[in-house]
Chains A and B, each alone.
Chain A
Amino acid sequence: GIQVEQSPPDLILQEGANSTLRCNFSDSVNNLQWFHQNPWGQLINLFYIPSGTKQNGRLSATTVATERYSLLYISSSQTTDSGVYFCAVTNYQLIWGAGTKLIIKP
C-alpha cells in the first residue's frame, strides 16, 4: 500500500519564525489534505490540495503530484500554530502520515 512519511517529526521554533513541513508519498494519489490538531485535540482541515498551490493567510501549501510530495509553509509563526500537523492522502482509501509536532515558543 501507499506509504506516507512526514518530516520533521518534531519542530520547535520561536514566535515569528517561518517553517516548512514536508509530506512524501510513495505512489500516485487522487487527493491530499493537510490537517492541524491543536493542543485541545481539535482536528482542523487546512488544505485540500491534490496538486498546485493554495494559500490561506499565513499558511500555504504546495503539492507536486508528479514528484510525490507536498509542502506546508507557515510564515510568521504564532503560539496558536502549535500542535500536530497531519497530511493524509487518498487513493480510494485515506492513508495518514504520522504527523509533525510543532511547538512555537513565545
Chain B
Amino acid sequence: DAGITQSPRHKVTETGTPVTLRCHQTENHRYMYWYRQDPGHGLRLIHYSYGVKDTDKGEVSDGYSVSRSKTEDFLLTLESATSSQTSVYFCAISDSLAGGITGELFFGEGSRLTVL
C-alpha cells in the first residue's frame, strides 16, 4: 500500500473557524491532490501540486488554499469554514511519467469534516 497519511481523520468545527487538513506521503511522488467527495457529486478536485511550492486550482477551489513546503506534505486550509464545506476530503498522490503523463493514483483514507 502507498504510504499516505491524512490527519485528522475526523473533525467537527464551527462555522467561521479555520481548519487545516494535512496529507503526508512517504513515496516521494511528484503530484499531490486534494479531492472532496459529496453524495451525488462524486470526486471533485480542489487543488493539486506538481512540486514543492507549485500548486494549481481544481474545479472547486473557492474557499480553499493549499501549501506544499516539502515534497512529502500537502496542506489544505479552509480559512473560514462554512457548512457547505462539510464533506469527506481525500488526498491522493501520483508520480509523473514520460511526456508529463500522470501515473497511477493512490488515495489516503479520507478526512471527514463536519462544519456546524
| Chain B contacts to A: CB under 8 angstroms | 42-43, 45, 88, 90, 99-107, 109-110
Q: Which of A16-24, A40-48, A57-65, A73-81 contacts B (4 or more CB under 8 A)?
A: A40-48
Whether A48 and B43, one on each chain, are in contact in the complex, defined by CB atoms closer than 8 angstroms, is no
* 17 further contact pairs, Cβ within 8 A, besides A30-B99, A30-B102, A92-B101: A31-B102, A31-B103, A35-B105, A41-B110, A42-B110, A43-B90, A43-B107, A45-B106, A48-B104, A86-B43, A88-B105, A90-B102, A92-B100, A92-B102, A94-B105, A98-B42, A99-B42
Whether B102 and A94, one on each chain, are in contact in the complex, defined by CB atoms closer than 8 angstroms, is yes
Of chain A, the residue at the smallest CB distance from B44 is: A96
Complex: how many Å from CA A78 to CA B90? Answer: 26
